[in-house]
Amino acid sequence: NAGVMQNPRHLVRRRGQEARLRCSPVKGHSHVYWYRQLPEEGLKFMVYLQKENIIDESGMPKERFSAEFPKEGPSILRIQQVVRGDSAAYFCASQDRPSTDTQYFGPGTRLTVL
């Protein structure tokens, strides 16, 4: 769905730097999901957020990764002290409410760690 926006679309970081990925959901959607996709692989769930709350972070590494979805503004996925293994495409998806089921994906941020 063209309504989900992500930026930047491409991000290059050196090992040890921080990466900040932004996701603006479809207008009116209050549920946001972050997924990671390694080259030639499927989508792996990382974290599920509702406005100001983390609902499920079971797929997110406990160290270096954090996510937020503030009352105002986009959802942010933050990766501290990036390593080469963090290189991947990161997609966010938004949903109106869980009962409507359908998740709409953004265009993704392709993170490259040098």
Partner 1 sequence: GENVEQHPSTLSVQEGDSAVIKCTYSDSASNYFPWYKQELGKRPQLIIDIRSNVGEKKDQRIAVTLNKTAKHFSLHITETQPEDSAVYFCAAPKAGNTPLVFGKGTRLSVIA
Write out the residues near partner 1 by the rule CB under 8 A: 31, 33, 35, 41-45, 48, 56, 91, 95, 98-99, 101-108
> Rounded distance, CA 113 to CA 11, Å?
8
Residue among 24 and 103 whose Cβ is closer to partner 1: 103
What's the min distance (Å) between Cβ of 47 and partner 1? 9
What's the min distance (Å) between Cβ of 58 and partner 1? 8
> Rounded distance, CA 37 to CA 43, Å?
5
What's the min distance (Å) between Cβ of 36 and partner 1? 11
Residue among 17 and 87 whose Cβ is closer to partner 1: 87
HSE of 25, CA atoms in CB hemisphere, 13 A: 26
Per DSSP, 9 falls in state S
Residue among 55 and 114 whose Cβ is closer to partner 1: 55
> Rounded distance, CA 25 to CA 40, Å?
26
